[in-house]
Structure formats: structure tokens, C-alpha cells
Amino acid sequence: MRFLIWFIGLFSLAVGLTLFAQVNSGYALIFLPPWRLEISLNIFILLLIGSVIVLYLGLRMLAELGGLPERVRRYRLRQQEIASVQLEREARTAFYEGRFQRSERLASEAFAASPNDAAYAVNGLLAARAAHSMRDYAKRDAYFEQLQARLGEQHLATLMSMAELYLDERRYNEASQAIAAAREINPKLTAAMKIELRLRQRERNPDAVLKLIEQLTRSDALDAEQANHIRIAAYQQQLRQHPMSVRELKDWCRKVPEADRLNPQLAASIATQYQEQGEPALARETLAAAIDAEWNSELLEQYGVLGLRGEALTAQLQQAEQWLKQHPNDHRLLLTLGRLCYQRELWGKAQTYLEASIAVKPTAIAHAELARLLDQLEHTEQANLHYRASLSIALS
């Protein structure tokens, strides 16, 4: 239908122009001294239209020829960009395949052909990581230098990669400098804080670790269990690194949140510190509070060897007997009660508890404690049986 309309329209135009040419009998006079040219008006109109068309086409041709160098430049740039993208994809695939040498070579070619800063950064960082994976640290550092020369020393992606890779190489000073620069650019960047957390852990800097854990927890960058594990390890590191007097240790404990202070691992470390300072009563209070907060039978073994005397030992024994009402079949608790009764010279109760512990779960230490008690009671033959049982369990 469309073609038919165009066909009819063109023929109508041709008929109209023919009729106009037959009716139009005028002429055009062109006077250019000393010449005069007289031509038909119809021919003049055709020549005029033709001249306009020729002039238009000529100007378009000149414009196209004038813009040819720019179009060639854009074409080459586009081809270069396509080649760079293809090289980058192949390099990335090789990197994830573990073919680091091929990845570094392809990324280096893409790096050299990068048409813009974004592609330059991506390809340069990929090449640096591939070189690092091959342990070619000199080549990796050369890529970092080229990246910083073109993109500046405040390029965040480069700084983050430098921090991570220097940390992996154990170059802690350089990693710390890169992290500091990255955090100046974006102080709340959780990825930078995580890298710094790993760095401070390796540097054994518990104060910085605790500060970072608090920041990462507020931003939900770490799950609660992981954060708690790292925080307890940092507190234990503080105890190991900074020997404290009894007063200083008490002040330190008051600063630690109660939930962390009652953690079994940290409570055991605090109790050990009190014991070393000659304060077994404070060690007992620490362990008892932790056990009351969350039953942990492993703390019971430490609870039973604090070396208390007199009324303090009696209170310690009474506390353990209260726990027995709630946990009658805990072999460690029964062992602890046996030890405490032995210290109180309650020989019969001690033997009963130790035998009950062995009945619940035979252990080398329970047999050894019972053998020691029987030796004390001069039951040598029975003591030897338990010594042999203890040795057998230990060897197996």
C-alpha cells in the first residue's frame, strides 16, 4: 500500500512538471559583459536545482574527507578498547584457573593497551595480583609504581591491594602505611578495617584489635560469634603482654564487659593471673562466677587445684557440692570434688567421689588421683591397680 502511494505520487509530480514546462514559455537572460546568454526558463530552473544538488554533495564530501582522521582515530581507539576488554577477560579467567603466569602476561598486555584510567587500574591491579601469586614481588611492586604514577598516590583500589598483598608478604610497615592512606580517603570503609584487623592481630596489638572489633561490630561487618572469638583472644593477649599487680588486674577486670569477663576462656586466663599473684581466693571467685553464668566442666579442673586452705577451702567444697545437685553425672565435677575432699583430708568422701568419676567416665587423671589417695591410706595393692589403669589410658 505504501509503495502504491509513492508510485502514484511520483507519477503525479512528473505529469505536473511536464504540464508546467509546456505552459511556461518564459526565458532567462544572463548578462555578463560583453556576453549575453538567453536560455529557456525551464532549463534555467533545472540547472539551478542541479547546481544546488552538486554544491551540497561537494560540501558533504569535503566534510567527510575533513573528518576522516578523527573517525580513524575513534575507530582505532574502539578496536583498542575491544582488544583490551578481551585480554582482560582472558587474564581474569586464567587467574581464577590458577594459571598465574598466563594471567600476568595477558593482564600486562591489556594494561599497556588500556584506553582509559578505569581499564588501566583494573588491568594493572590484576597483573599485580597475578605477579604476587607467583611470588614475583619485584614485578608486582613495579605495577604498583606505574599505577600510582598515572592514577596518583590516593587511588583507593591501589592502596587496598597494596595493603592486602603487603600483609600477605608480612611487610607490616608498608601494609600499615597503605591502610592508613586508604582510611584517610574513606574512614568508614569496612574492607579496610578488616585488613587492618588482620594486620593488628599479626602485630600482636590487642588494644588496636579491640578498637577495630568495636567499629566492625557496630557496622555489622562481623557476625557476633566471630567478633566474640577475636575479642576474647585480644583480652588474653593483653593479659600475657602486660603483667599486672592484683590491684591493676582488678581495675582491668572492671573495664572488661561482664559478658566477656564470664567467658570460660577469659575467666580461666584471669584466674591463672590471680593464682600467679598469690590470690587463689580471687581466682576461685572468678571461676565460680563463670561456671554459674555458663556451665563449663573444663573450668572445674582448674577450680579444683587452686590450693586454698581453711575456711576458703570449705567454701570451695560447698560450692562444688551445690553444683553436683544440678550436674550429678559430670565426671569432671566428681573428680574436682574428690580432689577438694582429699585436700580437706576427707578420705572416705574423696574415695567415693573419685570412684564415681571413674564409673561415669574412666580417665587417666581420675585413676591417678584415686591411686594417690589409696597410697595415702596404705592400700598399696589397690593403688597399683589404679596406677596401671591410669598408665593404660594415657598410652592408649
**What is the mean predicted confidence (pLDDT) over 251-260?**
92
Q: At what angle do helices 68-96 and 117-133 cross, to 10 degrees?
A: 30
Q: Supply the pTM of this predicted model.
A: 0.73
* Residue 331 to residue 345: CA distance in whole angstroms: 21
In the block, which residue shows the cell 534555467?
44
Beta bridge partners, 36, equal 31
- Give pLDDT, residue 76: 77
- Give pLDDT, residue 221: 84
**What is the mean predicted confidence (pLDDT) over 197-215?**
92
Q: At residue 311, does pLDDT exceed 90?
A: no
Question: To the nearest whole percent, how much of the chain has pLDDT over 90?
Answer: 51
**What is the mean predicted confidence (pLDDT) over 109-123?**
87
Question: Is the Cβ–Cβ distance between 108 and 130 less than 8 Å?
Answer: no
Q: At residue 209, does pLDDT exceed 80?
A: yes
- Give pLDDT, residue 79: 75
Residue 236 banded pLDDT, cuts 50, 70, 90: very high
**What is the mean predicted confidence (pLDDT) over 41-70?**
78
- Give pLDDT, residue 255: 92
Q: Which of 83-87, 133-137, 173-177, 312-316 has the lowest mean pLDDT?
A: 83-87
| Tens of pLDDT, residues 328-344 | 999 999 999 999 999 98
Residue 385: all three cell numbers together: 591397680
- Give pLDDT, residue 194: 93
* Residue 167 to residue 133: CA distance in whole angstroms: 13
Other CB atoms within a 10 A radius of the CB of residue 230 amount to 19
* Residue 341 to residue 192: CA distance in whole angstroms: 55
Residue 235 banded pLDDT, cuts 50, 70, 90: very high
CA distances from 296 to 195, 237, 290, 333, 341 (A): 34, 22, 8, 10, 21
- Give pLDDT, residue 115: 79
Residue 27 banded pLDDT, cuts 50, 70, 90: low
Question: Is the Cβ–Cβ distance between 283 and 306 less than 8 Å?
Answer: yes
Query: What are the φ and ψ backbone dihedral angles of 36, each rounded to 5 degrees?
Result: -130, 135
Question: Is the Cβ–Cβ distance between 108 and 100 less than 8 Å?
Answer: no
**What is the mean predicted confidence (pLDDT) over 214-237?**
90
CA distances from 144 to 100, 189, 212, 320 (A): 17, 21, 27, 63
- Give the rounded distance of the alpha carbon of 163 from its chain centre: 12
CA-closest candidate to residue 104, choices 73, 158, 74, 140 = 140
Q: At residue 29, does pLDDT exceed 80?
A: no
Q: Which residues of 27-54 are buried (b: 16+ CB within 10 A; e: fewer)?
A: eeeeeeeeeeeeeeebebeeeeeeeeee
Q: At residue 143, does pLDDT exceed 90?
A: yes
Question: Is the Cβ–Cβ distance between 252 and 244 less than 8 Å?
Answer: yes
Looking at every residue in the chain, the average pLDDT score rounds to 87
- Give pLDDT, residue 135: 93
- Give pLDDT, residue 20: 60
